[in-house]
Structure 1
Amino acid sequence: MVTAHPDDVDFAASATIASWTAQGIQVSYCVCTAGDAGGFDDTPRGEMAAVRQAEQQAAAAAVGVEDVRFLGYPDGRVVESLELRRDITRVIRTLRPDRVVTHSPEIDWRRIAVAHPDHRAVGAAAMAAVYPDARNPFAHPELGRDGLDAWTVRELWLVGSPAERINHAVDVTDTFDRKAAALAAHRSQTAHLPELIEELRAVMAEASAALLPEAGGSGEARLAETFQVVDTA
Protein backbone atom coordinates (compact mmCIF):
# COMPACT_ATOMS: atom_id res chain seq x y z
CA MET A 1 0.00 0.00 0.00
CA VAL A 2 1.58 3.29 -1.14
CA THR A 3 -0.03 6.37 0.38
CA ALA A 4 0.73 10.03 0.85
CA HIS A 5 -0.11 10.46 4.55
CA PRO A 6 -0.58 8.47 7.72
CA ASP A 7 -4.33 7.61 7.89
CA ASP A 8 -4.88 7.55 4.09
CA VAL A 9 -4.83 3.77 4.02
CA ASP A 10 -7.29 3.54 6.91
CA PHE A 11 -9.86 5.84 5.36
CA ALA A 12 -9.58 4.15 1.97
CA ALA A 13 -8.88 0.45 2.38
CA SER A 14 -8.15 -0.78 5.90
CA ALA A 15 -11.19 -3.08 6.10
CA THR A 16 -10.07 -4.75 2.87
CA ILE A 17 -6.54 -5.05 4.23
CA ALA A 18 -7.89 -6.62 7.43
CA SER A 19 -9.63 -9.24 5.29
CA TRP A 20 -6.36 -9.94 3.45
CA THR A 21 -4.23 -10.30 6.58
CA ALA A 22 -6.89 -12.62 8.05
CA GLN A 23 -6.26 -14.87 5.03
CA GLY A 24 -2.53 -14.87 5.72
CA ILE A 25 -1.65 -12.34 3.00
CA GLN A 26 1.40 -10.26 3.88
CA VAL A 27 0.76 -6.51 3.58
CA SER A 28 3.25 -3.65 3.88
CA TYR A 29 2.65 0.09 4.03
CA CYS A 30 4.83 2.69 2.31
CA VAL A 31 3.81 6.14 3.57
CA CYS A 32 5.46 8.92 1.61
CA THR A 33 5.15 11.69 4.22
CA ALA A 34 5.14 11.75 8.00
CA GLY A 35 1.94 13.81 8.10
CA ASP A 36 3.65 16.79 9.66
CA ALA A 37 1.09 19.25 8.25
CA GLY A 38 -1.88 17.41 9.77
CA GLY A 39 -3.67 17.59 13.09
CA PHE A 40 -6.51 19.66 14.51
CA ASP A 41 -5.37 20.60 18.01
CA ASP A 42 -2.53 22.52 19.64
CA THR A 43 0.11 19.78 19.31
CA PRO A 44 3.40 21.58 18.60
CA ARG A 45 4.32 21.37 14.93
CA GLY A 46 7.70 19.91 15.80
CA GLU A 47 6.01 16.92 17.45
CA MET A 48 3.33 16.19 14.87
CA ALA A 49 5.38 13.92 12.60
CA ALA A 50 6.30 11.60 15.47
CA VAL A 51 2.69 11.59 16.70
CA ARG A 52 1.29 10.64 13.32
CA GLN A 53 3.88 7.99 12.62
CA ALA A 54 3.08 6.36 15.95
CA GLU A 55 -0.62 6.56 15.16
CA GLN A 56 -0.07 4.85 11.81
CA GLN A 57 1.91 2.07 13.45
CA ALA A 58 -0.94 1.49 15.92
CA ALA A 59 -3.55 1.62 13.15
CA ALA A 60 -1.57 -0.88 11.10
CA ALA A 61 -1.45 -3.27 14.04
CA ALA A 62 -5.24 -3.05 14.34
CA VAL A 63 -5.61 -4.62 10.88
CA GLY A 64 -2.73 -7.08 11.13
CA VAL A 65 0.03 -5.12 9.35
CA GLU A 66 3.50 -5.12 10.92
CA ASP A 67 5.66 -3.55 8.21
CA VAL A 68 5.26 0.24 7.91
CA ARG A 69 7.82 2.35 6.05
CA PHE A 70 7.99 6.16 5.93
CA LEU A 71 9.81 7.93 3.10
CA GLY A 72 9.94 11.32 4.83
CA TYR A 73 8.73 13.66 2.09
CA PRO A 74 7.27 16.99 3.31
CA ASP A 75 3.53 16.85 3.95
CA GLY A 76 1.62 19.14 1.61
CA ARG A 77 4.54 19.59 -0.78
CA VAL A 78 4.76 16.25 -2.58
CA VAL A 79 5.35 16.32 -6.33
CA GLU A 80 5.69 13.52 -8.86
CA SER A 81 9.47 13.66 -9.00
CA LEU A 82 12.02 11.17 -10.28
CA GLU A 83 13.28 10.94 -6.70
CA LEU A 84 9.86 9.87 -5.43
CA ARG A 85 9.50 7.37 -8.28
CA ARG A 86 12.91 5.95 -7.40
CA ASP A 87 12.12 5.66 -3.70
CA ILE A 88 8.81 3.87 -4.34
CA THR A 89 10.55 1.64 -6.89
CA ARG A 90 13.12 0.77 -4.24
CA VAL A 91 10.36 -0.41 -1.90
CA ILE A 92 8.67 -2.41 -4.68
CA ARG A 93 11.89 -4.13 -5.68
CA THR A 94 12.68 -4.86 -2.03
CA LEU A 95 9.27 -6.33 -1.15
CA ARG A 96 8.44 -7.82 -4.61
CA PRO A 97 4.64 -7.58 -4.22
CA ASP A 98 1.99 -9.11 -6.49
CA ARG A 99 -0.33 -6.15 -5.90
CA VAL A 100 0.18 -2.45 -5.24
CA VAL A 101 -2.63 -0.31 -3.86
CA THR A 102 -2.31 3.47 -4.16
CA HIS A 103 -4.16 6.71 -4.84
CA SER A 104 -5.75 7.49 -8.17
CA PRO A 105 -3.90 10.35 -9.87
CA GLU A 106 -7.25 11.61 -11.18
CA ILE A 107 -9.70 14.03 -9.57
CA ASP A 108 -13.08 12.77 -8.41
CA TRP A 109 -14.99 16.05 -8.59
CA ARG A 110 -17.78 14.63 -6.40
CA ARG A 111 -15.38 14.16 -3.47
CA ILE A 112 -12.68 16.78 -3.68
CA ALA A 113 -11.25 15.77 -0.29
CA VAL A 114 -9.84 12.53 -1.72
CA ALA A 115 -8.09 14.46 -4.51
CA HIS A 116 -5.51 16.11 -2.23
CA PRO A 117 -2.52 17.20 -4.37
CA ASP A 118 -0.24 14.89 -2.35
CA HIS A 119 -2.57 11.97 -3.11
CA ARG A 120 -2.48 12.62 -6.84
CA ALA A 121 1.29 13.11 -6.89
CA VAL A 122 1.90 9.91 -4.94
CA GLY A 123 -0.58 8.01 -7.12
CA ALA A 124 1.13 9.17 -10.30
CA ALA A 125 4.60 8.37 -8.93
CA ALA A 126 3.48 4.95 -7.70
CA MET A 127 1.95 4.15 -11.08
CA ALA A 128 5.22 5.10 -12.76
CA ALA A 129 7.10 2.97 -10.25
CA VAL A 130 4.88 -0.01 -11.05
CA TYR A 131 5.16 0.64 -14.78
CA PRO A 132 7.73 1.03 -16.12
CA ASP A 133 10.32 1.69 -13.40
CA ALA A 134 10.21 -1.39 -11.15
CA ARG A 135 10.22 -3.85 -14.03
CA ASN A 136 12.81 -2.04 -16.14
CA PRO A 137 16.31 -3.19 -15.09
CA PHE A 138 17.79 -0.06 -16.66
CA ALA A 139 15.61 2.40 -14.68
CA HIS A 140 17.23 3.96 -11.61
CA PRO A 141 20.57 2.16 -12.11
CA GLU A 142 21.62 2.94 -8.55
CA LEU A 143 19.01 0.43 -7.37
CA GLY A 144 20.57 -2.27 -9.52
CA ARG A 145 23.95 -1.45 -8.04
CA ASP A 146 22.35 -2.00 -4.61
CA GLY A 147 21.30 -5.50 -5.69
CA LEU A 148 17.61 -4.69 -6.22
CA ASP A 149 16.62 -6.59 -9.34
CA ALA A 150 13.71 -5.64 -11.58
CA TRP A 151 10.26 -6.80 -10.46
CA THR A 152 6.90 -6.90 -12.27
CA VAL A 153 3.79 -6.06 -10.22
CA ARG A 154 0.78 -7.96 -11.55
CA GLU A 155 -2.05 -5.76 -10.26
CA LEU A 156 -2.54 -2.08 -9.47
CA TRP A 157 -5.50 -1.14 -7.25
CA LEU A 158 -6.42 2.55 -7.13
CA VAL A 159 -8.46 4.28 -4.41
CA GLY A 160 -10.29 7.57 -4.83
CA SER A 161 -10.90 7.09 -8.55
CA PRO A 162 -13.77 8.87 -10.31
CA ALA A 163 -17.01 6.87 -10.18
CA GLU A 164 -16.87 5.83 -13.82
CA ARG A 165 -13.49 4.15 -13.21
CA ILE A 166 -14.58 1.98 -10.26
CA ASN A 167 -14.71 -1.66 -11.32
CA HIS A 168 -14.29 -3.69 -8.14
CA ALA A 169 -15.85 -3.81 -4.67
CA VAL A 170 -14.80 -5.84 -1.64
CA ASP A 171 -17.43 -6.91 0.90
CA VAL A 172 -15.90 -5.78 4.20
CA THR A 173 -18.91 -6.14 6.47
CA ASP A 174 -17.05 -8.59 8.70
CA THR A 175 -13.95 -6.40 9.09
CA PHE A 176 -15.55 -2.97 9.44
CA ASP A 177 -14.93 -3.01 13.20
CA ARG A 178 -11.19 -3.34 12.55
CA LYS A 179 -11.35 -0.36 10.19
CA ALA A 180 -13.07 1.62 12.95
CA ALA A 181 -10.31 0.63 15.38
CA ALA A 182 -7.62 1.68 12.91
CA LEU A 183 -9.24 5.08 12.40
CA ALA A 184 -9.61 5.56 16.15
CA ALA A 185 -5.83 5.12 16.44
CA HIS A 186 -5.42 8.34 14.41
CA ARG A 187 -6.54 10.52 17.29
CA SER A 188 -4.85 13.64 15.95
CA GLN A 189 -7.00 13.36 12.83
CA THR A 190 -10.28 11.83 13.99
CA ALA A 191 -10.90 12.63 17.66
CA HIS A 192 -12.87 15.74 16.69
CA LEU A 193 -15.18 13.80 14.34
CA PRO A 194 -17.73 11.98 16.53
CA GLU A 195 -19.95 11.04 13.57
CA LEU A 196 -17.13 9.70 11.38
CA ILE A 197 -17.74 5.98 11.79
CA GLU A 198 -21.47 6.17 11.15
CA GLU A 199 -20.91 8.43 8.16
CA LEU A 200 -18.42 5.94 6.72
CA ARG A 201 -20.82 3.09 7.40
CA ALA A 202 -23.52 4.87 5.38
CA VAL A 203 -21.17 5.56 2.47
CA MET A 204 -19.95 1.96 2.43
CA ALA A 205 -23.49 0.60 2.60
CA GLU A 206 -24.40 2.72 -0.40
CA ALA A 207 -21.36 1.40 -2.29
CA SER A 208 -22.32 -2.16 -1.45
CA ALA A 209 -25.89 -1.72 -2.66
CA ALA A 210 -24.62 -0.30 -5.96
CA LEU A 211 -21.71 -2.64 -6.62
CA LEU A 212 -22.50 -5.87 -4.78
CA PRO A 213 -26.00 -6.60 -6.09
CA GLU A 214 -25.88 -10.17 -4.83
CA ALA A 215 -26.14 -8.76 -1.29
CA GLY A 216 -29.03 -6.48 -2.15
CA GLY A 217 -31.79 -9.01 -1.67
CA SER A 218 -30.48 -10.65 1.47
CA GLY A 219 -32.20 -8.24 3.83
CA GLU A 220 -28.86 -7.61 5.52
CA ALA A 221 -26.99 -4.33 5.10
CA ARG A 222 -23.56 -5.06 3.66
CA LEU A 223 -20.55 -2.76 3.52
CA ALA A 224 -18.02 -2.37 0.71
CA GLU A 225 -14.74 -0.65 -0.10
CA THR A 226 -14.30 0.16 -3.78
CA PHE A 227 -11.34 0.23 -6.16
CA GLN A 228 -10.24 0.69 -9.74
CA VAL A 229 -8.30 -2.49 -10.51
CA VAL A 230 -5.78 -2.39 -13.36
CA ASP A 231 -4.02 -5.45 -14.81
CA THR A 232 -0.38 -4.44 -15.06
CA ALA A 233 1.28 -7.75 -15.93
Structure 2
Amino acid sequence: MSTANVRSALVVTAHPDDVDFGAAGTVAVWTSAGIEVSYCICTSGEASGDGSPGMAAVREAEQRAAAAHVGVEDVTFLGYPDGAVTASLELRRDISRVIRRVRPGRVLTWSPEINWDFVPTSHPDHRAVGEAAFAAVYPDARNPYAHRSLLDDEGLEPWSVRELWLADGPLHLRNQPVDITAAFDKKMAALRSHSSQAGPAGEAIEQDLRQYHAATAAQFGLDEGRLAEAFQLVDTSR
Protein backbone atom coordinates (compact mmCIF):
# COMPACT_ATOMS: atom_id res chain seq x y z
CA MET A 1 0.00 0.00 0.00
CA SER A 2 1.09 3.58 -0.55
CA THR A 3 2.02 5.71 2.46
CA ALA A 4 2.19 8.91 0.45
CA ASN A 5 -0.04 11.96 0.70
CA VAL A 6 -0.68 11.66 4.44
CA ARG A 7 -1.11 15.11 5.93
CA SER A 8 -1.84 14.26 9.56
CA ALA A 9 -1.10 11.43 11.97
CA LEU A 10 -2.17 10.46 15.48
CA VAL A 11 0.00 8.52 17.93
CA VAL A 12 -1.90 6.67 20.68
CA THR A 13 0.11 5.34 23.63
CA ALA A 14 -0.46 4.13 27.16
CA HIS A 15 2.14 6.19 29.05
CA PRO A 16 4.29 9.29 28.73
CA ASP A 17 7.65 8.28 27.15
CA ASP A 18 6.24 5.25 25.25
CA VAL A 19 6.33 7.16 21.99
CA ASP A 20 9.81 8.49 22.65
CA PHE A 21 11.38 5.08 23.20
CA GLY A 22 9.42 3.40 20.43
CA ALA A 23 8.71 5.92 17.69
CA ALA A 24 10.06 9.43 18.32
CA GLY A 25 12.52 9.16 15.45
CA THR A 26 9.68 8.28 13.10
CA VAL A 27 7.55 11.13 14.43
CA ALA A 28 10.42 13.55 13.82
CA VAL A 29 10.77 12.26 10.25
CA TRP A 30 7.05 12.79 9.70
CA THR A 31 6.92 16.30 11.11
CA SER A 32 10.03 17.27 9.11
CA ALA A 33 8.13 16.13 6.01
CA GLY A 34 5.24 18.45 6.85
CA ILE A 35 2.92 15.91 8.46
CA GLU A 36 1.00 17.31 11.43
CA VAL A 37 1.27 14.83 14.30
CA SER A 38 -0.88 14.70 17.43
CA TYR A 39 -0.43 12.58 20.56
CA CYS A 40 -3.11 10.83 22.61
CA ILE A 41 -1.70 9.50 25.91
CA CYS A 42 -4.17 7.28 27.73
CA THR A 43 -2.65 7.58 31.23
CA SER A 44 -0.50 10.20 32.91
CA GLY A 45 2.09 7.67 34.09
CA GLU A 46 1.41 8.34 37.75
CA ALA A 47 2.36 4.81 38.88
CA SER A 48 6.05 5.54 38.38
CA GLY A 49 8.88 7.70 39.58
CA ASP A 50 8.63 8.48 43.29
CA GLY A 51 4.88 7.81 43.38
CA SER A 52 4.14 11.27 44.76
CA PRO A 53 0.69 12.85 44.29
CA GLY A 54 2.17 15.28 41.80
CA MET A 55 3.75 12.65 39.56
CA ALA A 56 0.97 12.80 36.96
CA ALA A 57 1.54 16.52 36.43
CA VAL A 58 5.31 16.00 36.25
CA ARG A 59 5.02 13.29 33.63
CA GLU A 60 2.52 15.25 31.56
CA ALA A 61 4.89 18.22 31.52
CA GLU A 62 7.79 15.96 30.53
CA GLN A 63 5.78 14.49 27.66
CA ARG A 64 4.80 17.91 26.35
CA ALA A 65 8.47 18.96 26.45
CA ALA A 66 9.49 15.77 24.67
CA ALA A 67 6.82 16.27 22.02
CA ALA A 68 8.14 19.74 21.26
CA HIS A 69 11.57 18.29 20.42
CA VAL A 70 10.05 16.26 17.57
CA GLY A 71 7.67 18.92 16.29
CA VAL A 72 4.44 17.94 18.08
CA GLU A 73 2.27 20.54 19.78
CA ASP A 74 -1.10 18.78 20.17
CA VAL A 75 -0.95 16.41 23.17
CA THR A 76 -4.10 14.97 24.77
CA PHE A 77 -4.13 13.03 28.06
CA LEU A 78 -7.16 10.82 28.69
CA GLY A 79 -6.57 10.28 32.42
CA TYR A 80 -7.03 6.51 32.63
CA PRO A 81 -5.36 4.80 35.64
CA ASP A 82 -1.73 3.90 35.07
CA GLY A 83 -1.26 0.15 35.41
CA ALA A 84 -4.97 -0.67 35.16
CA VAL A 85 -5.90 0.08 31.56
CA THR A 86 -8.37 -2.22 29.82
CA ALA A 87 -9.67 -2.13 26.26
CA SER A 88 -13.05 -0.90 27.47
CA LEU A 89 -15.86 0.64 25.46
CA GLU A 90 -15.15 3.89 27.29
CA LEU A 91 -11.52 3.90 26.14
CA ARG A 92 -12.58 3.03 22.59
CA ARG A 93 -15.00 5.97 22.68
CA ASP A 94 -12.41 8.38 24.01
CA ILE A 95 -9.83 7.39 21.39
CA SER A 96 -12.53 7.61 18.71
CA ARG A 97 -13.25 11.14 19.90
CA VAL A 98 -9.63 12.14 19.33
CA ILE A 99 -9.57 10.44 15.92
CA ARG A 100 -12.70 12.30 14.83
CA ARG A 101 -11.24 15.59 16.07
CA VAL A 102 -7.79 15.16 14.54
CA ARG A 103 -9.01 13.32 11.38
CA PRO A 104 -5.65 11.63 10.73
CA GLY A 105 -4.73 9.67 7.65
CA ARG A 106 -2.45 7.52 9.82
CA VAL A 107 -2.67 6.19 13.39
CA LEU A 108 0.38 4.78 15.17
CA THR A 109 -0.23 2.74 18.31
CA TRP A 110 1.19 -0.24 20.17
CA SER A 111 0.53 -3.78 19.04
CA PRO A 112 -2.11 -5.72 20.99
CA GLU A 113 0.15 -8.77 20.56
CA ILE A 114 3.07 -9.79 22.75
CA ASN A 115 6.62 -9.22 21.54
CA TRP A 116 7.94 -12.57 22.69
CA ASP A 117 11.51 -11.59 21.79
CA PHE A 118 11.52 -8.79 24.38
CA VAL A 119 8.61 -9.15 26.79
CA PRO A 120 9.54 -6.18 29.07
CA THR A 121 8.01 -3.83 26.49
CA SER A 122 4.76 -5.84 26.27
CA HIS A 123 3.21 -4.07 29.27
CA PRO A 124 -0.49 -4.95 29.73
CA ASP A 125 -1.35 -1.24 29.40
CA HIS A 126 0.45 -1.13 26.04
CA ARG A 127 -1.49 -4.08 24.69
CA ALA A 128 -4.83 -2.85 26.06
CA VAL A 129 -4.32 0.56 24.44
CA GLY A 130 -3.34 -1.14 21.18
CA GLU A 131 -6.50 -3.22 21.21
CA ALA A 132 -8.71 -0.23 22.03
CA ALA A 133 -7.01 1.97 19.42
CA PHE A 134 -7.40 -0.72 16.78
CA ALA A 135 -11.13 -0.92 17.59
CA ALA A 136 -11.38 2.86 17.48
CA VAL A 137 -9.77 2.91 14.02
CA TYR A 138 -11.96 0.05 12.85
CA PRO A 139 -14.86 0.13 13.21
CA ASP A 140 -15.74 2.78 15.80
CA ALA A 141 -14.43 6.12 14.49
CA ARG A 142 -15.85 5.54 11.01
CA ASN A 143 -19.21 4.23 12.17
CA PRO A 144 -21.84 6.98 12.71
CA TYR A 145 -23.80 4.62 14.95
CA ALA A 146 -20.91 3.82 17.30
CA HIS A 147 -20.69 5.97 20.43
CA ARG A 148 -23.65 8.04 19.25
CA SER A 149 -22.97 10.89 21.66
CA LEU A 150 -19.83 11.80 19.70
CA LEU A 151 -21.97 12.74 16.72
CA ASP A 152 -25.28 13.66 18.35
CA ASP A 153 -23.96 15.69 21.29
CA GLU A 154 -20.46 16.74 20.21
CA GLY A 155 -20.93 17.09 16.46
CA LEU A 156 -17.91 14.92 15.65
CA GLU A 157 -18.42 13.43 12.21
CA PRO A 158 -17.21 9.87 11.46
CA TRP A 159 -13.69 9.52 10.11
CA SER A 160 -11.93 6.63 8.33
CA VAL A 161 -8.22 6.17 9.02
CA ARG A 162 -6.26 4.88 6.01
CA GLU A 163 -3.20 3.42 7.75
CA LEU A 164 -2.58 1.73 11.09
CA TRP A 165 1.03 1.48 12.25
CA LEU A 166 1.67 -0.98 15.09
CA ALA A 167 4.78 -0.65 17.26
CA ASP A 168 6.49 -3.35 19.31
CA GLY A 169 4.63 -6.32 17.86
CA PRO A 170 6.14 -9.71 17.03
CA LEU A 171 9.29 -9.24 14.99
CA HIS A 172 8.12 -11.31 12.04
CA LEU A 173 5.12 -9.00 11.51
CA ARG A 174 7.14 -5.79 11.19
CA ASN A 175 7.09 -4.76 7.55
CA GLN A 176 7.61 -0.98 7.48
CA PRO A 177 11.03 0.49 8.32
CA VAL A 178 11.61 4.21 8.78
CA ASP A 179 15.11 5.62 8.37
CA ILE A 180 15.62 7.78 11.46
CA THR A 181 19.34 8.49 11.02
CA ALA A 182 18.85 12.23 10.58
CA ALA A 183 16.27 12.34 13.39
CA PHE A 184 18.15 10.34 16.01
CA ASP A 185 19.39 13.42 17.88
CA LYS A 186 15.79 14.67 18.15
CA LYS A 187 14.73 11.28 19.52
CA MET A 188 17.44 11.49 22.18
CA ALA A 189 16.42 15.05 23.08
CA ALA A 190 12.86 13.84 23.54
CA LEU A 191 14.00 10.98 25.76
CA ARG A 192 16.09 13.30 27.91
CA SER A 193 12.92 15.24 28.71
CA HIS A 194 11.68 12.31 30.84
CA SER A 195 14.07 12.95 33.71
CA SER A 196 11.69 11.66 36.40
CA GLN A 197 12.02 8.13 35.07
CA ALA A 198 15.74 7.49 34.86
CA GLY A 199 17.45 10.84 35.05
CA PRO A 200 18.95 12.36 31.92
CA ALA A 201 19.36 9.77 29.17
CA GLY A 202 23.09 9.28 29.11
CA GLU A 203 25.70 7.75 26.88
CA ALA A 204 24.78 4.16 27.80
CA ILE A 205 21.17 4.58 26.68
CA GLU A 206 22.24 6.38 23.53
CA GLN A 207 24.74 3.64 22.70
CA ASP A 208 22.17 0.89 23.28
CA LEU A 209 19.63 2.64 21.07
CA ARG A 210 22.16 3.25 18.31
CA GLN A 211 23.00 -0.44 18.28
CA TYR A 212 19.35 -1.48 18.29
CA HIS A 213 18.34 0.90 15.50
CA ALA A 214 21.43 -0.01 13.46
CA ALA A 215 20.45 -3.69 13.71
CA THR A 216 16.90 -2.81 12.64
CA ALA A 217 18.23 -0.89 9.64
CA ALA A 218 20.44 -3.81 8.64
CA GLN A 219 17.52 -6.22 8.93
CA PHE A 220 15.65 -4.24 6.28
CA GLY A 221 18.65 -3.86 3.98
CA LEU A 222 19.49 -0.23 4.68
CA ASP A 223 23.07 0.90 4.14
CA GLU A 224 25.64 0.46 6.87
CA GLY A 225 25.57 3.35 9.31
CA ARG A 226 21.84 3.94 8.96
CA LEU A 227 19.40 3.78 11.88
CA ALA A 228 15.78 2.66 11.64
CA GLU A 229 12.58 2.05 13.57
CA ALA A 230 10.19 -0.62 12.26
CA PHE A 231 6.45 -1.17 12.49
CA GLN A 232 3.66 -3.44 11.30
CA LEU A 233 1.78 -1.44 8.68
CA VAL A 234 -1.88 -2.38 8.22
CA ASP A 235 -4.10 -1.08 5.42
CA THR A 236 -7.33 0.17 7.02
CA SER A 237 -8.54 2.14 4.01
CA ARG A 238 -11.06 -0.43 2.82
- The answer on 1:209 being equivalent to 2:213 is no
User: 1:35 is aligned with what amino acid?
Assistant: G
Matching residue of 2:4: none
Query: Within the alignment, does 1:163 sit opposite 2:167 as a pair?
Result: no
> Which stretch of the first structure deviates more once superposed, 49-58 or 191-200?
191-200
State the number of aligned residues: 225
State the partner residue of 1:34. 44
- How has the CA–CA distance of structure 1 residues 45 and 133 changed in structure 2, closer, same or farther, with 3 Å as cutoff? same
Q: 1:138 aligns with which of 140, 145, 152?
A: 145
Asked whether the 8 Å contact 2:194–2:200 carries over to 1, the reply is no
2:233 to 222, 225, 229: 229
Q: Deviations over 1:120-176 (max 9, x none)?
A: 000000000000000111000011111111100000000001011100100100000
Query: What is the Cα deviation at residue 190 of structure 1?
Result: 3.0
Alpha-carbon shift at residue 192 of structure 1 (Å): 6.9
Residues 39-71 of structure 1: CA distance to partner in whole angstroms, max 9, x if unpaired? 2xxx45201101100000000000010000000
Any stretches of 5+ residues in structure 2 without a counterpart? 1-10
Q: 2-side partners of 1:134 and 1:54: how far apart? A: 28
RMSD (Å), alpha carbons:
1.1
Query: Normalising to structure 2: TM-score of the pair?
Result: 0.92
Distance change in 2, residues 1:113/1:68 (3 Å): same
Counterpart among 34, 54, 74 of residue 24 in structure 1: 34
Runs of 4+ in 1 over 6 A off after TM superposition: none
Moved more, 190-199 or 117-126: 190-199
Ranges in structure 1 where 5+ consecutive residues have no aligned partner: none
Contact 2:63 2:193 in 1 (8 A): yes
Secondary structure (helix, strand or coil) at the match of 1:68 reads: strand
CA contact (8 A) 1:28 1:65 kept: yes
- Which whole-Å CA distance do the structure 2 matches of 1:160 and 1:179 have between them? 17
TM-score normalised over the length of structure 1:
0.94
Structure 2 distance, partners of 1:193, 1:27, is: 24
> Corresponding residue for 2:185?
177
1:97 matched to which residue of 2?
104
